[in-house]
Structure 1
Amino acid sequence: MATEVKETESAGKEIDFTACDEICEKYRDWKGATIPVLQQVQEAYGYLFSELVERIADNLNMSAHQIYGVITFYAQFYTKPRGKYVIRVCRGTACHVQGSGRISEVVCEEFGIKNGETSADLKFTLEEVSCIGACGMAPVIMINNKTYGNLKPEEARKIFRDYAELQG
């Protein structure tokens, strides 16, 4: 399949759909391929923006509405850009009692974002989650796949600043 680059309507940037087309091609004749396609395309592009959803729909012979139905049903899919570092603050009972709300406030103070938001530089996204499953280490946060527990707000602030200083 030839590489096609399309200028987006909204952002005026060019999109290379090669990865999307290659992923869809692998699943062309598979029943129930929508979720694995969406997972892999999101991994490749970071999130599922409208032009990409349309391309997936065309490749899978589905309507964009059908694709959006899947995207909006499952919490694992994102239609807005996310940060390089996703900070998940546990808000379960044990973490709440141990002060996880204050840790969310520290994220806001450091990066100017609230729950569900991404920093303007696309470095951080804050997600308050119901439970991380590490109650014995409350309060707990995860940054991408790394877990930090038994945190005080100032310890969390140092961790956040360390990530902010990382390059790349």
Structure 2
Amino acid sequence: MGESAATVNYLEDSASLVGCKAQADAEALGGKVLTVIDGITLVSVPNGASTVSVSSDAKVAGTDYNATAEIPCAGFRGQPMGKCQAGVKRNGEGGVTTVEVQWPGGGSRALFFDQQGKFISADTNQADGSAAYKTVSKRDGDLTTISIGPERYEILDAFIMGG
């Protein structure tokens, strides 16, 4: 979930804040259920702690995302490690899941995952020079770390696969 007046008191560095429309999906994440805001159950999922299987997947109200969250990120325009807003669109064309990361100050990067949650590629391009960047992904438990040149993103399976 992104930072807003409603969520700011629930954000922390050692966990991801995930929003689920269904209570059962929230409980399946394996984190701590915090509260319900506008029909979305907020769950604090410790980084590296969740194992989730896919079930039904609703949309976040007013968006075309299945979930939104603040994820650890760094490197965009030389920025240090911080948080970026992200939205996930699960099981799109060909079963591909897309995570759209919004950079502070504007711009974005799309990250693509297969049906098993394995990183496939990113939307790099020639115009900003990112097409020349080396792209590497690494899994550690239920956390995928993606490096695209100087950029770094950390994404939990719970966000990619849903609950």
TM-score by length of 1: 0.25
Higher percent of residues as strand: 2
Q: Which structure exhibits the higher relative contact order, with contacts defined as CA atoms closer than 8 Å and separated by 6 or more residues? A: 2
TM-score by length of 2: 0.26
Structure whose CA Rg is larger: 1
